[in-house]
Structure 1
Amino acid sequence: MRLPSPLLRGTLIKRYKRFLADIALENGELITAHCANPGAMLGLNMPGLPVYVSKSDNPKRKLKYSLELVKLPTGLVGINTNYPNKIIGEALASNAIEELAPYETFKAEVKYGENSRIDFLLNPESERMTYLEVKNVHLSRGNGLAVFPDCETDRGVKHLKELANMVAAGHRAINLYLVQRVDCDRFSFAQDLAPKYAAAAYEAHRAGVEFLCYDCDINIEEICVASRLPILMPSR
């Protein structure tokens, strides 16, 4: 997935009210950027971190700038939670994720369950469809371990239960975690930060929901699906 071009480099002053970030650009300009990430952003919201922002020419936008990437000593991290579905959509279109094959067609944002939408429905015309939910991962505990989530998410718990219901109905259901980092080699669940979600993941796995995790190749021009990471499933 191509990022908006060109990205502008700056230094994070502070991130606040969840969706706002004050940033000093390299040219000295002070801006407030939209931060499309509702999570806690632990380890990625520290003042002084190098960041990259995009600028929109849309006159209707209240904030012209968007926070896109944070640069850590270990590499770039994508923090825009609007991107994982686009990244996975491109990967599906090019058959880049072999564990999801075979499929002939797929649809995005399909209604199912109780007032839910599945990110992708593979083989939507077949008797046994594949329900694919995508989650963005940007938190690392260090030593190459990526974890999800960084805070409790009732919506995430609901999605896991909905996926388990699809398995019970005879379909295939997959939760795919996309790690928007380049410094991780395995994935697990933040049981201390989100015990309810970890417990729901444990139950969903027992019910037959499949779990996949992929990391990304990231530079200031694009973010693409890279390699599959091993998953350490939560304990009871």
Structure 2
Amino acid sequence: MNYNKIVKAKFIERPNRFIAYCEVDGNIEKVHVKNTGRCRELLIPECTVYLEESDNPNRKTKYSLISVEKGIRLINMDSQVPNKVVYEGLKNNKIKLPGINEEITLIKTEKTYGSSRFDVYLEAGDKKAFIEVKGVTLEENGIVKFPDAKTERGVKHINELIEARKNGYYCYILFLIQMDNVIYFTPNNEMHKELGDALIEAKKNGVEVLAYDSIVNVDSIIINKNIKVVL
């Protein structure tokens, strides 16, 4: 997954979930934040961020905030990118799905099942599978967690995957860690224990819980390797 026209900037403030103010070449610019999560540990005043300049002259904001430096780490915080990265990873055989050894013959995005819309549907041999993708940006001492805010929608998706598994589908929750060099992934029970409990229940019912990290550059992000999951 590649970006175009990336510029370096200094973060100033974030008045709401969708907008931030950043300093670009000495000018204060209003930019679109492509992540509605809290990201409080990332967007610290005067931190270095990277913006993508839009080619659309009709946009209200000229830039979108893509990534942020946190110490020596570069973290991609674009919440729209994990699905694309996972899709590319599946296409390029970079993702190993437990239970599926056959060649993938069909990959579709945004597939409805029950009252949920899962991120990926695929077929391999006579097997049919759903994958729900969650982007992860929260990191502390090399341990990465999800979520950074309560997500009832996330719990609903997990419960729907459990039902789909009972009905014969292979089901996966894949946490796409939007950085590299991490130790392991674990649910953020301090923030939303219900989601952590739902993941344990999903695992008991045959839903696979996976995590992959990413190689992040200022103008790209690509899936890297499987990361240990601690529930």
By the TM > 0.5 criterion, same fold? yes
Aligned partner of 1:121 in structure 2 is 121
Aligned partner of 1:134 in structure 2 is 133
SS of aligned partner of 2:105 = coil
Contact 2:199 2:209 in 1 (8 A): no
Aligned partner of 1:107 in structure 2 is 108
| Offset, 1:101 | 4.6
Aligned partner of 1:230 in structure 2 is 228
Question: In structure 2, which of residues 159, 165, 168 is the aligned counterpart of residue 167 of structure 1?
Answer: 165
| Offset, 1:42 | 3.2
Question: Kindly tell me: are residues 192 and 167 of structure 1, through their superposed partners in 2, closer, same or farther at Cα, counting changes over 3 Å?
Answer: same
Q: Which amino acid aligns with 2:138?
A: L
Q: Does 1:204 align with 2:205?
A: no
Question: Kindly tell me: are residues 21 and 129 of structure 1, through their superposed partners in 2, closer, same or farther at Cα, counting changes over 3 Å?
Answer: same
- TM-score, with normalisation over the residues of structure 2? 0.94
SS of aligned partner of 2:190 = coil
Gaps of 5+ in 1: none
| TM superposition outliers: structure 1 runs of 4+ over 4 Å | none
Distance 1:145 1:16 in 2: 28
SS of aligned partner of 1:105 = strand
SS of aligned partner of 2:89 = helix
Distance 2:56 2:28 in 1: 20
Q: Which amino acid aligns with 2:118?
A: I
Count, aligned residues? 228
Gaps of 5+ in 2: none
Contact 1:152 1:196 in 2 (8 A): no
Q: Which amino acid aligns with 1:109?
A: E
Aligned partner of 2:9 in structure 1 is 10
1:131-160, Cα deviation, whole Å (9 max, x unpaired): 111000000122x10000111101100100
Distance 2:204 2:39 in 1: 29
Distance 1:206 1:98 in 2: 20
- TM-score, with normalisation over the residues of structure 1? 0.92
1:58-100, Cα deviation, whole Å (9 max, x unpaired): 1231112100010122210000100001111111111111236
Question: In structure 1, which of residues 67, 71, 76 is the aligned counterpart of residue 74 of structure 2?
Answer: 76
1:166-208, Cα deviation, whole Å (9 max, x unpaired): 1110111000000001241210011001112112112111111
Note the aligned Cα RMSD (angstroms).
1.4
Distance 1:181 1:101 in 2: 28
Distance 2:62 2:101 in 1: 40
